Structure 1
Amino acid sequence: MAKRSFLASFSYAAEGIGYALKTQRNMRFHAVAAVVVITAAALLQLTWQRWLFLLVAITMVMAAELLNTAVEVVVDMVSPEPHPMAKAAKDTAAGAVLLTAIFAFVVAIIVFYQPVAAWLGSQH
């Protein structure tokens, strides 16, 4: 097998992200949610510590969604007919996405609570 160039590996990764965005409704939802959260964080001028927690949570959800997509594609390729083990693999991967999404939601509540409360307090 020929060695891939370092730059080519970035291209393949970008293709994978593009594939997920084009074919997976949940990936598009998470991407839009990330843009909304990042915009809100910028408007509220959050501290770098709060930014860090948000970016970790966003990255975890997006990475989990990419892995979920990979699992689904491979399972569909090797098991085109319904099978209990194929279902278990897909459900488990989806569970990982759900777990990270819940984590991200909790992080967002913790990160935004005080800045939003302060902003709302200054509006009166």
Structure 2
Amino acid sequence: MNNKPKYHLFKNTQYALSGLVHALKTESSFKLELLCAVFIIAGIILIDASLTQKMILLVTGILVLIVELINSAIENVVDLVTLEKHPLAKAAKDIGSTAVMFSIGLHAACWILVLLWA
């Protein structure tokens, strides 16, 4: 049996927006990163750098938000499956957090390189 509903652009957009609203209501890390993104975007606009460098900063900044949302989804699924402390549940959550850390590190490294070359 197929559990996937038919694709509908407006319905799928509604699901995505519902996910965003849920993340804004429940995920403090996402809210903090989104707040930082406002200042980062302002910095990208104000910095004296090429369009390519600005796009790299913008893309890596958005990547941080994307990875945080995926991490939050992983954490929610783990919590749905088990509320017990289990080594695999901890590993799944820790690996998701590592992905967020790496995306933030990548973004910071891009900022450092752009500032050194600008």
TM-score tier by shorter-chain length is 0.7 to 0.9
Aligned: 1:68 with 2:91:
no
Letter of the 2:54 counterpart: W
Please give the TM-score of this superposition, normalised by the length of structure 2: 0.87
State the partner residue of 2:13.
10
More displaced, 24-33 or 72-81?
Answer: 24-33
| 1:56 equivalenced with 2:43 (yes/no) | no
5+ residue gaps, structure 1: 116-124
- Equivalent residue, structure 1, for 2:110: 107
Bigger Rg, structure 1 or 2? 1
Secondary structure of the equivalent of 1:9? helix
Q: Percent identity?
A: 33
Say if 1:22 and 1:45 are closer, same or farther in 2 by CA, change over 3 A: farther
Q: Which runs of 5+ in 2 are unaligned?
A: none
Task: State yes or no: 1:42 paired with 2:45.
Answer: yes
Describe the superposition over 1:37-85 as per-residue Cα deviations: whole angstroms up to 9, x where unpaired.
1101212354211121012101211111000000000000001111111
Aligned partner of residue 3 in structure 1, secondary structure: coil
| Cα-Cα RMSD | 1.6
Which amino acid in structure 2 is aligned with residue 96 of structure 1?
A
- In the alignment, structure 1 residue 91 sits paired with structure 2 residue 94: yes
Residue in structure 2 matching 1:26, options 16, 29, 38: 29
- Contact 2:74/2:93 (<8 A) preserved: yes
